[in-house]
Amino acid sequence: MSAALPLFRLDGRRALVTGGSRGIGLAIAGTLAAAGAAVTLAARGAAETEAAAASLRAGGLKAEALCADVTDVPGFAALIAARPAFDVFVNNAGANRPKPLSEVTEDDYDAVVNLNLRSAIFAAKAVTARMVAEGRRGSVINMSSQMGHVGARNRTLYCASKWGLEGFTKALALELAPHGIRVNTICPTFIETPMTEGYFRDPAFLNEVLTKIPLGRIGQPAEVAAAALYLACDAASLTTGSALMLDGGWTAS
């Protein structure tokens, strides 16, 4: 076995993935579990989340479901406080309502910014408090976006939330470094998931996206999951306060 391979293992560690019942979250949960972690999939839909966890267990992996709504800040904090500390936290739950600012409503703001930024901040607070209390060194991975580094039409709310998440990540990385807790972001371009597949049925939209990605294709959940594994494990032991770009070159130009 290569000497590098143990660096990519997570045996004996506990990982929590929010938004873990489908799409990118489920892909990440499966990849972390395949690397040896005992994974908790957290999402609002109890039946769907349990089915996702069961599908991982059917493959011989360690996975459990946690019915949780990260927008319920005190409720989520109580769930975390009642459990042993996690070693890895993937702060993945998120949403978007693309439209021009002239059409944005307060409800749109609440839905996007409350989930992408407010809930992410307080979820990280709850999880890292347990890590610090138990003296657990570990990794927090905030799911950002290439839109946390650039602007785009019809994405004022989304960009605002992800730029905010980037700043939060850097500040939290400094706070938690003395505790041996690393904090980073993953910044994907458009990824093919059930949430995005409707967008790609529009040939004009798909063409516009592809013209901005030098590699010439949209991403796959497995590629985001591989990045999460890197940031979660000891291979990234010197990486904190960083943004890992998975954008096919979008932000390079």
Domain residue limits at 128? 5-239
The answer to the question of residue 143 being in a domain is yes
The answer to the question of residue 245 being in a domain is no
The answer to the question of residue 168 being in a domain is yes
**C-alpha distances in Å from residue 55, one per residue of 28, 47, 189:** 14, 12, 27
Looking at residue 253, what is its pLDDT? 83
pLDDT digits (tens, 9 = 90+) for 88-118: 999 999 999 999 999 999 999 999 999 999 9
**C-alpha distances in Å from residue 158, one per residue of 128, 162, 234:** 25, 6, 31
CATH number for the domain that contains residue 14: 3.40.50.720
Looking at residue 196, what is its pLDDT? 84
CA angle, residues 92, 67, 162, in degrees to nearest 5 = 20
| Amino acid identity at 126 | A
**C-alpha distances in Å from residue 134, one per residue of 63, 86, 115, 164:** 22, 10, 27, 28
* Percent above pLDDT 70 for the chain: 98
The answer to the question of residue 74 being in a domain is yes
pLDDT digits (tens, 9 = 90+) for 211-240: 999 999 999 999 999 999 999 999 999 999
pLDDT(194) > 70 = yes
pLDDT(2) > 90 = no
The answer to the question of residue 252 being in a domain is no
The answer to the question of residue 253 being in a domain is no
The answer to the question of residue 244 being in a domain is no
The answer to the question of residue 15 being in a domain is yes
Q: Which residue has the higher pLDDT, 164 or 193?
A: 164
Beta-carbon contacts of 62 under 8 Å, excluding residues fewer than 6 positions away, are: 33, 37, 38, 39, 56
Number of structural domains (the chain) is 1
| Amino acid identity at 125 | K
**CA–CA distance, 105 with 121 (Å, rounded to integer):** 23
pLDDT digits (tens, 9 = 90+) for 44-81: 999 999 999 999 999 999 999 999 999 999 999 999 99
Structure tokens given for 157: 């709310």
Residues belonging to the active site: 158, 162
Place 1 in a pLDDT band, splitting at 50, 70 and 90: very low
Q: pTM value?
A: 0.95
pLDDT(206) > 70 = yes
